[in-house]
Chains A and B, each alone.
Chain A
Amino acid sequence: MERRPGGEANIRTGEKVMTRPRTHPIRRYRRRALALALLGGIAGLTLLAPWLATADPRHAVPADQWLAPSAAHPFGTDHLGRDVFSRVLYGGRQTLAMGLLALGITLGPGLVMGLVAGYAGRWVDRALMTVMDALLAIPSLLLALALIVVLGSGTTQAALAVGIAGIPVYARVTRAAALEARALPHIEAARSIGVRPVGILGRHILPVIRPVLLSFAGVTFGWALLNGAALMFLGYGGDIAAPDWGVMLAGAREAFRSAPWAAVAPGVALSLTVFATNLLASSFNGSRASK
């Protein structure tokens, strides 16, 4: 692919179009390192929860309700006298696990449908994308809520609902990228000499669109975390005593004015995780591999 400063050739029409100057690679890698450090730190803390936690996250001590942060309770206690610090640590496990599960559910079908639609074109593309477009008309959280009604409540069901609700967007993005890549000269060449579609998709198209897919997977993970937490907040997680950031926010909401710490801790943890995820996603942007 030919590159000129301040612009590049549209791969399909050959017209020169303006593009955003790319982030300098060094800055991008620094951003990625920061994101990975943040995410790694959060994941590490939650994994080490059994050793770091100062109390049983489910143990209620009604007499200790709404204690302000102190040495004994670094993040204070909640409305049932449970240690917020321990609950945030354990809560990350469930929240992150749900996000990962949802991401996996989104990526598989989303990727396959997007690639097939983008590569095959014609009626396959039209049929798949009509369905995806219809689903896209519904906000993903609403779609997840509708799915919960069918699937029933529970953490796995919630993750499943969030994952399925994310498929249309991911398929859409993959398809757009595949469509663009299909027109690249070396891929056209491969097609013309009769390389089988699976080979073209796997060996030629995927490597080209990988940065887009990775970047958008990051964004999807952020959404999955937020939507998952929203479902838990609304009480679709089944286990209402579970340490989980969404559940904690719901429980702390009613007393936010007298005991804000019970909501601030899981809120900051969730925001920080989503921030790190988005940072990671943006570090893939523009690092399009060229062969």
Chain B
Amino acid sequence: MTFGVIGVLALVLCLAAVIFLVLVLQDDSESGDDGNRIVYGLTLNPSGFDPHINASNELGIPFFSVYDTLVYRHPQTMEFVPGLAEEWSMADNGLSWTFQLRRDVTFHDGDPFNAQAVAVNLDRITNPDIPSQKARGLLGPYTGYTIVDDFTITLELSEPYAPLLDALSQVYLGVASPKALSEYSKNTYQWHQVGTGPYRLDEVVPGDHIILKRNKDYAWGPVFYAPASDQSLDTIEFRFYEDAPTRSLALEDDQVQAIGELLPADAERMIGNPALRVVPVPIAGMPQQFFFNTQRAPTDQLAVRQALLYGTNRTAIANAVFQGQSPVAYGPLTSVTPFYDPVVETKYPYDPDFARSLLQGIGYQDSDGDGILERDGEPLTVRITFAPWNQMVDVAQLIQSQWRELGIEAELDLVSNFPDLIARADSGEYNLIGRYDFGVDASIITPYYLSDGLNNWSGYSDGELDDWLREAVRQPDPAMRAQLYKSVQGRIMDEAVILPIREYVNLNGTTARLDGVIFSGQGWWPLLRNFQLTQ
């Protein structure tokens, strides 16, 4: 029994000593030669990190800086500037593009960069065994390549394809080291990625963290990459913060120095904090929106769709749900997207009285006094299907509340994930369905509006619209494309195919000690090369 007390004390002391040692040792290892080090918070753990294979925007946050692309979009002008390709030209018939490659580039593993390396990457992306969720699609009508010489490669197309440079500027077509690709399988390469970019992959613990280290030999960056300095980041550790309310907490506690997708209310509160900075980045592509199902009653009637557009107070939604940090969306493209046509902004102002008169005009009346409109005894009910991300739950509830005042009953159908959303789309049992996609080139909308488009969830079919959409992808002249997309946007809104809600804005937060926080033209991906840590 006497041993008991002494024994317990000794045990406690031993434990304390061990904990102390562990803490001290850990401290040592962290203040090693990491140099300027930050933790960057990722907002989700994607199903895979291989840009050639996976489609998540999140993977580009670390890996846009591990790879270089043949061309880049200048983040300010959105123009294409040289990357790994010094110059390029399109053949007159639009069926081939020739790229002159830089001669001074080496991969992180010491392999030289050349036309052969680009060819290996193209072969991998188009290999049906991979299979690519995004990169292959970006290449469009690509059919093959010709290696002209060590530093010249020609890409061949089956038809003219205007968005090719846009595709080549994205992380999904980043050029990976052929040596690394051959060393690892399609499943394991994602943990051993090797590129030519300003940062090299140092360590991956799947589901826990990713560490990038600065590539000290990097001297071939695009024109907008800042030169390295004492304040450049040497080590960047990426960690996951999937639960939105924890992100602002992590930032305020200095556990992370940069993080994306803050909740609008948290960003709003953070603006007053001198230790932190909010960096809102508008995202090009489609707005947060719903497609009307034009094949199912009652949204098969144009007047109903238009009434719903007039009867939705989008400003109130943007203010309440997004704290006014997102502009209201009016058309199928957001206002930062090239070829955006501002004429859509005039089309459906909030006008509940006009919405009521539209519905009355086609015979809807509240004949039984229950507050819901009917026609031939059928109440006016619409079913809204959506997934929970991007505050859609709140958006849908506000819409439901606004439409009830018009006498329209909205049934909310919340699905829990993307596969369920697709299953719902296949079933066709919805009047509105939330779906959107991001990309700088306006052709991002093509599969959503072509009559036989893969993602045509509205069921809308219009031969003229199809022609415009197809021609806009083939047409190399920007002025012609702008004209075509102007017609496209006008038609989509005249026919009330979608209910746009707000333009997507990624609310990033950083510590005020970080300078040079800037994002790629696509909006999602930080240009880590330009980040500076001041003390």
Q: Is A188 among interface residues, defined by CB-CB distance under 8 A? A: no
Chain B residue contacts of A79, Cβ below 8 A: 265, 320-321, 394
- A20-64 interface bits toward B, Cβ cutoff 8 Å, 1 = contact, 0 = none: 000000000000000000000000000000000000001110110
Whether the Cβ atoms of B414 and A240 lie closer than 8 Å is yes
Q: Is B139 among interface residues, defined by CB-CB distance under 8 A? A: no
Chain A residue contacts of B127, Cβ below 8 A: none
- A79-105 interface bits toward B, Cβ cutoff 8 Å, 1 = contact, 0 = none: 111000000000000000000000000
Whether the Cβ atoms of A60 and B244 lie closer than 8 Å is no
Chain A residue contacts of B158, Cβ below 8 A: none
User: Which residue of B has the minimal Cβ distance to A234?
Assistant: B416
Q: Is A239 among interface residues, defined by CB-CB distance under 8 A? A: yes
| Interface secondary structure of B, over-half rule | helix
Chain A residue contacts of B393, Cβ below 8 A: 235, 240, 251
Interface size class of B (residues with CB under 8 A): 20 to 34
Which candidate, B42-50, B79-87, B397-405, is the interface stretch facing chain A? B397-405
Chain B residue contacts of A241, Cβ below 8 A: 397, 400-401, 412
Chain A residue contacts of B137, Cβ below 8 A: none
CA–CA, A258 to B264, complex, Å? 12
User: Which residue of A has the minimal Cβ distance to B268?
Assistant: A258
Smallest distance from the beta carbon of A155 to chain B beta carbons, Å?
A: 14
- A185-201 interface bits toward B, Cβ cutoff 8 Å, 1 = contact, 0 = none: 00000000000000000
The answer, among A59, A62, A240, A256, for a CB contact under 8 Å with B317, is A62
User: Which residue of A has the minimal Cβ distance to B405?
Assistant: A59
Q: With A60-B398, A235-B414 in contact, do A254 and B265 touch (Cβ < 8 Å)?
A: yes
Q: Is A127 among interface residues, defined by CB-CB distance under 8 A? A: no
Interface centre among A60, A255, A257 (most CB of B within 10 A): A60
Q: Is A204 among interface residues, defined by CB-CB distance under 8 A? A: no
Q: Is B188 among interface residues, defined by CB-CB distance under 8 A? A: no
Q: Is B206 among interface residues, defined by CB-CB distance under 8 A? A: no
Chain B residue contacts of A58, Cβ below 8 A: 401, 404
Whether the Cβ atoms of A60 and B269 lie closer than 8 Å is no
Whether the Cβ atoms of B397 and A62 lie closer than 8 Å is no
Q: Is A65 among interface residues, defined by CB-CB distance under 8 A? A: yes
Whether the Cβ atoms of B320 and A254 lie closer than 8 Å is no
Of residues 210 through 253 on chain A, the ones whose CB sits less than 8 Å from some CB of chain B are 235, 239-241, 251, 253
CA–CA, A158 to B404, complex, Å? 27
- B340-375 interface bits toward A, Cβ cutoff 8 Å, 1 = contact, 0 = none: 000000000000000000000000000000000000
Smallest distance from the beta carbon of A256 to chain B beta carbons, Å?
A: 7
Whether the Cβ atoms of A63 and B269 lie closer than 8 Å is no
The answer, among B245, B265, B401, for a CB contact under 8 Å with A60, is B401
CA–CA, A240 to B399, complex, Å? 13
16 contacts between A and B (CB under 8 A): A58-B401, A59-B401, A60-B397, A60-B401, A62-B316, A62-B319, A62-B398, A80-B394, A80-B398, A239-B412, A240-B397, A251-B393, A253-B245, A254-B263, A255-B265, A257-B245
